Structure 1
Amino acid sequence: MNELAARCRAYETVARAIRFVKQRRPCQPSLQEIAAHVGMSHFHLQRLFSVWVGISPKRFLQYLTTEHARSLLRGKYDVLAAAHAAGLSGPGRLHDLMVACDAATPGEVRSLGEGLQITYGFAPTPFGRVIAGSTARGLCHLQFVNANDSTDDADGDGDGDAGAIRQLQADWQHARLLRDDAALASSIGRVFSLVGDERPLHLLLRGTNFQLKVWQALIDIAPGEVVSYGELAARIEHPRAQRAVASALARNRIAVLIPCHRVIRENGDVGNYRWGGDRKQALLAVEAARRVGQSRV
């Protein structure tokens, strides 16, 4: 088994554990029960889960408790305070990337990437396998593979990867695509690293002026914080444009860096996520826990 396949299998084990914890949250499953569900000793699951997610299964379960979910509704969705109330802590922090955005010109938008070369690649991450695409001007594509399928394609030859490539080509129809996993490894690693990096990560964004405004407002939301659709609309001075804001989120082609996972429903419900509800819940839990860990350093 090569290293990439091993990492993807490790993530799938952690993903199964995350789904089990979420489903069984009312019963407060023990570490032993979670480990038995994924067919692993509790010692090895504890270590694997902590490496990939950054917090222990117990801490993740605490985040998902009803009491914690209710605390999200207090104040202005103060996730940090809610995380403290749940007793969350983490060994590291999700670093705040410096993100520099460059909008595609109207001509580039109309040409759908004609004359543009996009180098793309796949890599495993703590939250699942991703595909990333980059041009000379910056990262233009970052999406999770098989968002609604628990069987991420580890060998790079399955339908999951093929579908992800088709989506990239559909977004930039006339661009020339060149696969180079190694070339994208550094950028993908920086997105999910626990270690801060002072160099800005450049993004090339293609969208309407309104969409670009929404995406920039998303970038300004700190890890560990959440906002409602209404609050996000108010931040861009379009308080009645909640549906348009939701549409802009749906058009987001760069996961995590443009953090649409930090937007929740008005009633405090986590809501849907184009790359899977379990993944959204995991992203929020880890960000909140790591922010608490950073504040205690």
Structure 2
Amino acid sequence: MLTHKDSSTYKQIEKAIKYIDENFKSHPSIDEVAKNIGMSKYHFIRVFKEYVGVTPKQFLHSVTLNYAKEHIKESKSILDSSLDIGLSSSSRLHELFVNLIGVTPKEWKEKGKDVEITYGFGQTPFGEALIGFTDKGICYLGFCDNNKKDIFQRFNQLWENANLIFNEKLANEYLENIFIKNKKYPLFVKGTNLQINVWKALINIPNGEIATYSDIANVLDKPKSARAVANAIGKNHIGYLIPCHRVIAKSGAMSGYRWGIERKKNLLEYEINKDEQDI
């Protein structure tokens, strides 16, 4: 990051952001944006990242997506949104959403309508859990104590219009594969851009290691956003697989954990001991 920002360069970056905001529907190339502010392409990419925290392409993608999310709430069809945004087809809009937030525009707009989710309760080394999964991947994993009704309600609210299919046998098979056989599954997530970026950062924390909320904020080039990061972590709906249990307060305190502080300690101890046994 730059420690002392040159005012003239800042004005150029400000001009670039304004240009992207005003022209994102026509999908300007990075060369076009750089030329508009009088910079070479590669110098522009480097300086933009230093000032804004993301690359120009990521910023353009984000602006397009945020507009799309708002526009599809009002439009009559996904195709209308695609044409208004300037994409070549509705499949391109579909790709945009899938790459960044894991759900299609239709699923976002209709809160999971027509999405088929198999779910069930089963046992894990850390107590009973509710798991939900689709043909795209696991979409929910929450631990239960004496609150199965509450856990199911959270799951149901997240995917309130989905077609839920109860299958306890298959749910137990999935949980055994995850916790005993260490099988990897894709994750089908639903969240904001920030939440998904935070969750991606969590997955990159090595097994048995810990990080602070500030560490995650720094990884995302948002050093002053530790509180927002903590809020995003609190919205994680796939426990264990998106390892929010590996994040602690800067003071070293375990801090909050949706599924209980004791379970958080047990998860960390389990991972640390497992790593030592594998050495």
TM range (shorter): 0.5 to 0.7
Letter in 1 for 2:195: Q
> For residues 220-277 of structure 1, what are the alpha-carbon distances to aligned partners after superposition, in whole Å with 9 as ceiling and x for unaligned?
1111100000001111221111111011111100000000000000011122211001
Counterpart mapping for 1:1-297 below 5 A: 103-146=102-145, 152=146, 160-193=147-180, 195-197=181-183, 200-295=184-279
- How far does residue 196 in structure 1 lie from its aligned partner after superposition? 4.4
Paired residues in the alignment total 181
Structure with bigger gyration radius: 2
Q: Which residue of 2 aligns with 1:50?
A: none
User: What is the alpha-carbon distance in structure 1 between the residues aligned to residue 268 and residue 100 of structure 2?
Assistant: 23
Q: Distance in 2 between matches of 1:120 and 1:101?
A: 24
- Give the conservation status (yes or no) of the 8 Å contact 1:101–1:202: no
3-state SS of the aligned residue for 2:214? helix
Identity %: 35
TM-score by length of 1: 0.58
> Which structure would you say has the larger RCO, counting Cα contacts within 8 Å and 6 or more residues apart?
1
**TM-score (norm: length of structure 2):** 0.62
- 1:21-69 CA distance string (max 9 Å, x none): xxxxxxxxxxxxxxxxxxxxxxxxxxxxxxxxxxxxxxxxxxxxxxxxx
* Gap runs ≥5 in structure 2: 1-98
Q: CA deviation at 1:106?
A: 3.4
Residue 115 of structure 1: how far off its partner (Å): 1.0
The structure that is helix-richer by fraction is 2
Structure 1: 5+ residue runs without aligned partners? Answer: 1-99, 147-151, 153-159
User: Shift of residue 136 of structure 1?
Assistant: 1.5
Per-residue CA deviations over 1:114-137 (Å, capped at 9, x if unaligned) read 111211011111111000001121
RMSD of equivalent CA atoms: 1.8
Q: What's the secondary structure of 1:124's corresponding residue?
A: strand
